[in-house]
């Protein structure tokens, strides 16, 4: 695992209010996701990186009732702690923004050194997703008096498991 790149991602995501942990394997990354999700109601994307993930919490009938959303990523930027998500069948945009907690899994092969590298990699995707979300930590918004509110337009917590995949 490129420890320096993963450590930079962990530091930058922490500066944005999120949490990243470095796992030794894909199985260990899935174990982190299970531990973080607990038995809370969860939405889980149909993503190849999440294959084998079984959660204790049930999938709610109404997505608005989910407390946790679990996603894979198109890529991530270490220098900003940013995740790039793209909708696809079985991967609705709401998984990352409706629940109060967003959990993501990032293989090291899709962790880029900087934001420009991430954007260049996304530009080479074929087919190109119909839309993308760029997520850097928990949702934050400031009101007219600059009072910062967390979780206004998305999750209040973002946790990411980074693992070596090659």
pLDDT per residue of the chain (166 residues) written in tens, 0 to 9: 488 999 999 999 999 999 999 999 999 999 999 999 999 999 999 999 999 999 999 999 999 999 999 999 999 999 999 999 998 888 999 999 999 999 999 999 999 999 999 999 999 999 888 889 999 988 655 556 666 555 556 789 999 999 998 7
Per the structure, how many domains does the chain have? 1
CATH, residue 109: 3.40.50.10420
Kindly report, residue by residue over 65-113, the tens digit of the pLDDT.
Answer: 999 999 999 999 999 999 999 988 889 999 999 999 999 999 999 999 9
Q: Please state, in angstroms and rounded to a whole number, the distance separating the CA atoms of residues 106 and 6.
A: 10
Q: Measure the N-to-C terminal CA separation of the chain; round to a whole number of Å.
A: 8
pTM of the full structure = 0.91
Query: Domain of 144?
Result: 3-163
């Amino acid at each position: 695992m490129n420890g320096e790149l993963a450590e930079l991602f962990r530091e930058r995501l922490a500066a944005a209010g999120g949490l990243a942990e470095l796992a030794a394997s894909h199985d260990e990354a899935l174990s982190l996701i299970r531990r973080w999700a607990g038995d809370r109601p969860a939405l889980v994307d149909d993503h190849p990186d999440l294959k084998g993930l079984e959660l204790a919490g049930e999938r709610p009938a109404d997505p608005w009732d989910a407390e946790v959303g679990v996603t894979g990523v198109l890529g991530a930027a270490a220098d900003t702690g940013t995740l790039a998500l793209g909708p696809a069948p079985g991967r609705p945009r709401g998984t990352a923004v409706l629940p109060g907690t967003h959990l993501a899994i990032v293989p090291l092969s899709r962790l880029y050194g900087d934001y420009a590298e991430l954007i260049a990699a996304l530009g080479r995707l074929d087919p190109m997703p119909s839309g993308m979300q760029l997520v850097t930590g928990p949702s934050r918004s400031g009101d007219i008096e600059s009072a910062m509110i967390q979780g206004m337009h998305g999750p209040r917590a973002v946790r990411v498991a980074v693992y070596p995949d090659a």
